[in-house]
Structure 1
Amino acid sequence: MTRLATVRGGDTTPGVSPPSATPPAPAPDRLTWRQRLSHWDVRWSPYLYISPFFVLFALIGLFPLGYTAWISLHDWSLLGGKGEFVGLENYREVLDNPYFVKQTVNTLSIFVLSSGPQIVIAVVLAALLDTQLRGRTWWRMSILLPFVVSPVAVAIIFGSLFGDRYGLLNEIITWVGFEPVQWHTDRFASHVAIATMVNWRWTGYNALIFLAAMQAVPRDLYESAELDGAGKVRQFLSVTLPMIRPTMIFVVITSTIGGLQIFAEPRLFDDTAAHNGGADRQFGTITMLVYDFGWQLRDLGRASATAWMLFLLICVFAVLNYLAIRRLGRLGGGDR
């Protein structure tokens, strides 16, 4: 028996099966509630899964930032609450404050003395821990110990080291034959002491971050470089540093944010009852000025204005450091 297949137009062709046609999708207004629910789930569930992060970031990040900006435009007292709108008057008063410029310079000085050496030492330590070092697991654990020590304990330890009269370092300096250093009264010496405290706490933490990045570098790249005659130093400069550039950008930016917001170390380093960063604010920082405005003078308007100026300063330095690291990566052949 000859099988006839009906085609479009009413024609029949012997031995040809009818083409399989995909049924048309139902119109949106004809979808059942189950189909609508499935459609919404596929479309919106990814955004729902990531929404907790953005909700928390908006609550604890963006809202305080915007609210601080709103406070900085008002005459806002800690005890009296919101006052009249004053515009940029709080910013003008902060800039006219005799300690603002000085404490800004102090902040930048401590930042340079801490962040730069800290990153260099952390990279070197990570490179040493990435080798076949005997007992490397113990060393990797030990370099993280300073990070878990309380800042108060760090201040007590380094207060004994950098004491003006009975400090261990001054005892050694005097024994060698030099004059003792006035670590708390000399401006530059106090910056060196505080930067040493910061480096001691954070170098090991950053070294472990660099170590994780170095261990992710493919080993065949080192083998290829070794076959080409590159030594260990050349491999480190031409392979390791370009490959860990994204991690270095992350560490530099986080170090910039933390270094410019330094508060605990200089406040605890002050051995006077006022804790203002020295008698002449020789090692006071911007965050300490924010604290003085907000809690000692009870002026939240000027404190918020100072905090926003610090925020803008951090943004500028973070961008500059990011561009500098990208430039160094291109010069080292690591443009990826």
Structure 2
Amino acid sequence: MSAAPQVPSPAVPPTAIRRRRVLRERLPIYLAISPFFLLFAIFGLFPIVFSIVLSFTDWDGMGDISFVGLAQYTFLLTDARFWNAVGNTFIIWFLSTVPMLSLALGIAFLLHRNIRFTKFYRVAYFLPNVTSMVAMAIVFGSVFSDTFGLVNSALTALGLSSVPWLSSSLGIKVTIAVMVIWRFTGYNAIIYLAGLQAIPTDLYDAAEVDGASTWQVFTRVTVPMMRPIILFTVITSTIGGLSLFTEPQVLLGDAGGAGEAGMTIVLYQYNQAFTQFDFGYGSAIAWALFLIAAVFAVINWRLVSGRGDSSPRPSRRKEARR
């Protein structure tokens, strides 16, 4: 009896062999970094996508989710409390961001000079940023108290009338702005200091040879060379200013103080989502805040970076002819 003929096995393409080899080599790397992507998908990506879905629904967190379309966004456009929160947020942002970044740039410029105890000042200016904001909000509440606050006591000692810091609309906004300035001035100063250390010293030496004063060196050398760093701090300060929550919530409570003068956008979103249990409207407020922050980030980018220049530029053909 003759043996059955053997059927030759199909040849494996070289590309498939290389793919298997690469997969075997990279599989341990993929497994090593997979926990990050799993955690991001669960605690980062899923909440973002779910909040988008919730913004088109009406849900109290307990019953069935009912789809309402654009009803939440339509109500948001006519909600007087929401626009009051938007106005409060922008006023506080303006009162805090402009002085904060100006002070930070000046402090960084002074720290960059050859002064004594530079390391001590760097630590001292950065210390407020790592201090508990909840504890400091309680301290600021005592300092700016209408009745027994240190600020009003100092004003009374100077023969001036006391100011209702925590019971008037402007006083509440100024108090919150002072808290933001106190907390983030040192943080931005450290960033500016790092940018100053990257500027070539030849520019300062040339300015000194030309007889430039300290103010001229600051305005004509330091500020132009620091434009990318200033752009970064302006954008981050804008996003942070539009996301204020801890300061007004701890200082004034969920109601935002007298007349909701300290009601910010995030605090109003918190009230709607976790006090009123209107998660659909809270999600709509969150995405409205995202849109506002994105628009202002683009505006700040164009203003600070100087990309808003619309002067005509020569075309490629003309450049080629030249």
Q: TM-score range by the shorter chain?
A: 0.7 to 0.9
Give the Cα–Cα distance (whole angstroms) in 1 for the partners of residues 102 and 295 of structure 2: 22
The answer as to whether partners of 2:302 and 2:308 remain within 8 angstroms in 1 is: no
Report how far residue 325 of structure 1 moved: 0.7
Alignment partner of 1:283 is 2:265: no
State how far apart, in whole Å, the 1-side matches of 2:186 and 2:199 are. Answer: 20
Residue of structure 2 equivalent to 1:7: none
Q: 8 Å contact 1:130–1:214 — kept in the other structure?
A: yes
In structure 1, which of residues 74, 79, 82 is the aligned counterpart of residue 62 of structure 2?
79
Number of matched pairs: 298
Distance in 2 separating the partners of 1:193 and 1:91: 32
Over 3 Å counting, the alpha-carbon distance change for 1:321 and 1:57 in structure 2 is: farther
Point out where structure 2 has 5 or more consecutive residues left out of the alignment.
1-11, 310-322
Structure 2 residue identity aligned to 1:223: D
The question of 1:144 aligning with 2:126 is answered yes
Residue 115 of structure 1 aligns with which residue? Answer: 97
What amino acid sits opposite 1:227 in the alignment?
V
Q: What letter corresponds to residue 147 of structure 1 in structure 2?
A: N
Aligned-pair CA distance for 1:43? 11
1:98 deviates by: 3.0
1:196 aligns with 2:196: no
The corresponding residue for 1:17 is none
Matching residue within 272, 277, 298 for 1:293: 272
Aligned positions of 1:35-50 closer than 5 A: 35-36=18-19
Kindly report the root-mean-square deviation, in angstroms, between the aligned alpha carbons of the 2 structures: 2.9
Q: 1:255 to 1:47 in 2, by over 3 A?
A: farther
**Displacement, 1:248?**
1.4
1:304 corresponds in structure 2 to: 283
> Unpaired runs of 5+ in structure 1?
1-27, 331-336
Pairing of 1:178-257 with structure 2 (within 5 A) = 178-257=160-239
- Which moves more between the two structures, 133-142 or 319-328? 319-328
Q: Percent identity?
A: 42
Partner of 2:306: 327
Shift of 1:233: 2.1
- Equivalent position of 1:68 in the other structure: 51
Q: Distance in 2 between matches of 1:50 and 1:240?
A: 42
In structure 2, what is the Cα distance between the partners aligned to 1:101 and 1:83?
A: 27
Question: When the two structures are superposed, what TM-score results if normalisation uses the length of structure 1?
Answer: 0.80
The aligned amino acid for 2:59 is: W
Q: CA deviation at 1:174?
A: 1.9
1-side partners of 2:243 and 2:67: how far apart? 28
Q: For residue 247 of structure 2, what is the amino acid of its counterpart?
A: E
Structure with more helix by fraction: 2
Encode CA deviations 1:130-169: one digit per residue, 9 max, x unaligned: 0101010111111111111111211121111100111111
Q: CA deviation at 1:192?
A: 0.5
